Amino acid sequence: MKLSHLSETLIGSEIVKLGGEIRDRIRKGEHIYNYTVGDFDPQIFPIPKLLEDEIVAAYRNRFTNYPPGEGSLELREAISKMAKDFQGLEYGTDEILIGSGGRPLIYGLFRAICDKGDKIIYPVPSWNNNHYGHFVEGEHIVVEARAENNFMLKAEDLKPHLKDAVFLALCSPQNPTGTTFRKENLQEICDLVVEENRSREAGRKKLYVMYDQMYWNLTYNGIEHYDPVTLNPEMRPYTIFVDAISKAFAATGVRVGWSMGPATIINKMKAILSHVGAWAPMAEQKALTKFLENKEAITQYLENFKNEIEERLKRIYLGFEALKQKGYPVDAVSPEAAIYLTIKLDLKGKTTPEGKQLANQSEVTSYLLQHASLAIVPFYAFGADRSSAWYRLSVGTCKKEEIDEMLLKLEKALSQLQ
């Protein structure tokens, strides 16, 4: 059956597909260390109690009608205040748009800015920019982020590609790597964007920056989060933030996100999403408004939450360092932020106990699942080259008591390779 060009060529989310396959195997009784999807086990990481109570109360008070297209005024006021209190960012309610998590807002932003054939710049590995670029039929300008830079783009990487580009997708802390922009690095990128936009004549489309800061609350070991507008106020007309409660409050299924940016762009995104209907539920909006008004509750939750995430990341990182010291072909990047650890398993070409040579990274991934019960996501699922030996390991479902056990099984699986 012949369908649309988009449906015939669009690739579904590799991460969602892999996560679904792993969940099926777990349901059938397999014990798997499932470190694939960027989600949380609610039994380990529940959402804040106050937020949960307010959601229940809102439904009991029958807040089940359509929300305003731009989001409730009270929630936009609360987000405006939170942005100022926690980040020093000043955005009015007309510069904030509420959506059902970050995804529809990102989709709406791509649609609001990009036309067919427009140059869209994004790094690899990165989350889903390749697919959103495909939605709008843009020209993909893919810039490889290198391991020596903790997989974060540098200004010199971007500079050759800025001419005529209209969209630059940046994310910090970065999904999938769990690494962050350093102040000087992001400052240099902002300076390049401002310089490029100054050079464009009136009436010509500018270069806009999507700044995905979904994990900005989750930084560790003295790492600071930086944003374009604070570092360079001239970036304000060209920067659109994407944020949500999904990761900072372990609320992936609660589905409330927001964008902040120039009112003209925010209104265009609102118009696009009004036809998609990707609104955050009214009850959740009411509940989040109440929660965001309680700064003490936010601080208390994040303190414990961050400690628990950081402990898992550090323990697994140290485990990989120990394996590396023993001579195994593995590596890891010291954790900086988010819920992710970047790890390397350079096993291509090795021979399994069954006598099969691991011919590619897909076979390496399968070997790890079969022999170590370890489910992780290869960087090629984030647009990197299929030969890349790097992986994302997510700790949102990680039980602390299983970490040592997982590392022992992994070492055994590694030791069996020739």
CATH number at residue 318: 3.90.1150.10
Q: Domain range spanning residue 348?
A: 5-45+299-415
Look up the pTM and report it.
Answer: 0.94
Separation between Cα atoms, residue 256 and residue 282, nearest integer Å? 10
pLDDT in tens, the chain (418 residues): 789 999 999 887 777 777 777 888 888 888 999 999 899 999 999 999 999 999 999 999 999 999 999 999 999 999 999 999 999 999 999 999 999 999 999 999 999 999 999 999 999 999 999 999 999 999 999 999 999 999 999 999 999 999 999 999 999 999 999 999 999 999 999 999 999 999 999 889 999 999 999 999 999 999 999 999 999 999 999 999 999 999 999 999 999 999 999 999 999 999 999 999 999 999 999 999 999 999 999 999 999 999 999 999 999 999 999 999 999 999 999 999 999 999 999 999 999 999 999 999 989 999 999 999 999 999 999 999 999 999 999 999 999 999 999 999 999 999 999 8
Shared domain check, 326 and 260: no
Q: What is the DSSP letter of 357?
A: B
Domain boundary residue, one of 264, 294, 324: 294
CATH number at residue 219: 3.40.640.10
Shared domain check, 359 and 261: no
Shared domain check, 54 and 38: no
Shared domain check, 231 and 86: yes
Domain boundary residue, one of 294, 324, 350: 294
Separation between Cα atoms, residue 348 and residue 378, nearest integer Å? 13
Shared domain check, 40 and 56: no
C-alpha closest to that of 292 among 71, 97, 81, 67 = 81
Q: In this structure, is the dihedral angle defined by the CA atoms of residues 267, 270, 274 and 276, taken in order, positive or negative?
A: positive
Shared domain check, 245 and 100: yes
Shared domain check, 225 and 318: no
What is the count of structural domains for the chain?
Answer: 2
Separation between Cα atoms, residue 308 and residue 380, nearest integer Å? 28
C-beta separation of 256 from 100 below 8 A? yes
Shared domain check, 339 and 280: no
Shared domain check, 284 and 308: no
Burial of 3 (0-12, 13-18, 19+ CB in 10 A): exposed
Q: Which helix (H) or strand (E) covers residue 286, if one does? A: helix 282-292
Separation between Cα atoms, residue 118 and residue 152, nearest integer Å? 24
| pLDDT for 21 | 78
Shared domain check, 104 and 16: no
Domain boundary residue, one of 294, 318, 351: 294
Shared domain check, 66 and 22: no
C-beta separation of 320 from 330 below 8 A? yes
Shared domain check, 251 and 185: yes
